[in-house]
Amino acid sequence: MSTAPATGDLPYVDTKPQGSADFYFATNATFRFLLRRLGREGWIGYLQELGRGYFAPVNERWRTGGLPAVARYWRAFFAAEPGAEVEVRELPDRVEVCVRQCPAIRHLRAGRREIVREYCQHCYHLGAARAEAAGLTMRLQGGNGTCRHTFAAATTVLPPQAMADIAEATS
Amino acid sequence: MIGCYDFCGHYEWTFGWLERVGGHGLVRDYWNEAINHDSQRHARDLIRNEGIPGMLKYWGHTLLEESPDLGFHISHRADVFRIDFHDCPSRGFLLRNGLNHYRDYCDHCMGWTGPMLREAGYVIDHEHNHRGQCWWEMRPASATGGHAAPGSVAGDKDVRLRPDWPLDPARLDRYCKANDPDAKLP
């Protein structure tokens, strides 16, 4: 997915089609700083507040637009992330975001950065907070470069999230 | 997932969150520890090892990637490295999208580059107008005196020659031979 994003499906729009991958260095460094200074619970709290606050416009679109809006968002999102290889599947009761190549993990490795081992958990803590705000539920399986995000209506019965199902990131 | 496309948006949101949780000191520590010493360590290494040529390599690459429309201009001599931002890609993103969770997003640049350049032996002259225009001059730490005259380093690319550049210093945040984000001139 390397075409220009459908920016109408993104809440915040830039003038260039894709972001600068070096910013993944800053996200990884931010996680390291927060984990060191505020601990795991502080880091999770940051992600949850980010999900409910900064991403509020997305959450509202998901709340009103349902799963089709979720699918449109993730297609637009990953089209704007350099190096992403992602398939977004729309199933009757859920949307699956199948990440074949995580652009962040890829670039952090290419840049020889020490990746925070909890890195992949951020997608769950952030995504679950966003989903809950939108009346949805979210699960994450995999990590360390390839993973699957599942978004479904809150009434859909999904197995509980096991944190062991989220792989530790390695450099 | 936290993406890089809208990085400046969640980066700015993070400043506000850090200040609420841990006060101004935590924001300062974040800029220095997470950005200067971790995220941007490639910039630190280049500039500490190569000085002004290293600045040219770092900012020449990163600004072209962030601002392919060339909303900036770089000037350099043996004794000074200067950047004029006519359309800051980072501040511009926030303005265009109406994002404002921290009192002065522009402070983050001095927040991480100030300590980085101090460690490399340089001081900074700088002004920003909060609207996406600013200028920077980096000189060896032995430099003295006030700001260089408009146009004396960057010629007609000097952002201070723009018709919309504020003439009233009170509308600018200003630094002189500084390295600390809190060392704004009164």
Cβ contacts (< 8 Å) between A19 and chain B: which residues? Answer: 3-7
CB contact under 8 A, A77 and B5: yes
Nearest residue of B to residue A126, measured between CA atoms: B1
Question: Which residue numbers in chain B have pLDDT < 50?
Answer: none
Check residues A42 and A3 and name the one with the higher pLDDT.
A42
- Between residues B69 and A45, the one the model is more confident about: A45
Provide the pLDDT for residue B62: 83
Q: What is the mean pLDDT of residues A133-149?
A: 98
pLDDT on residue A8: 81
How is chain B split into domains, by residue range? 7-178
Q: What percent of chain A has pLDDT over 70?
A: 96
Q: Is B95 on the interface with A (CB under 8 A)?
A: no
Please state the domain extents for chain A.
20-165
Buried residues in B1-17 as b, exposed as e (16+ CB within 10 A): bbbbbbbbbbbbbbbbb
Best residue in A3, A16, A33, A140 for a mutation probing chain B (most B CBs within 10 Å): A33
Instruction: Give the residue-averaged pLDDT of A66-87.
Output: 98
ipTM of this predicted complex?
Answer: 0.95
Q: Say if residues B4 and A24 touch (Cβ distance below 8 Å).
A: yes
Q: Mind spelling out the 3-state secondary structure of A33-51?
A: HHHHHHHHHHHHHHHHHHH
Q: What is the pLDDT of residue B68?
A: 67
CATH architecture of A20-165: 2-Layer Sandwich (3.30)
In the sheet that holds B122-128, the strands lie side by side as B72-77, B80-85, B134-140, B122-128, B173-178
State residue A5's pLDDT score. Answer: 56
Kindly compute the dihedral angle of the four CA atoms of residues A134, A146, A36, A30, in this order, to the nearest 10 degrees: -70
* B108 vs B69: CA distance, rounded Å: 23
Q: Distance between CA A59 and CA A61 in Å, rounded?
A: 5
The architecture (CATH level 2) of B7-178 comes to: 2-Layer Sandwich (3.30)
Which stretches of chain B are assigned E, i.e. beta strand? Answer: 72-77, 80-85, 122-128, 134-140, 173-178
Q: Is the pLDDT of residue A112 over 70?
A: yes
Residues of chain A with C-beta less than 8 angstroms from the C-beta of B62: 20, 22
Tell me: the pLDDT tens digits for A4-39?
556 689 999 999 899 999 999 999 999 999 999 999
CB contact under 8 A, B3 and A81: yes
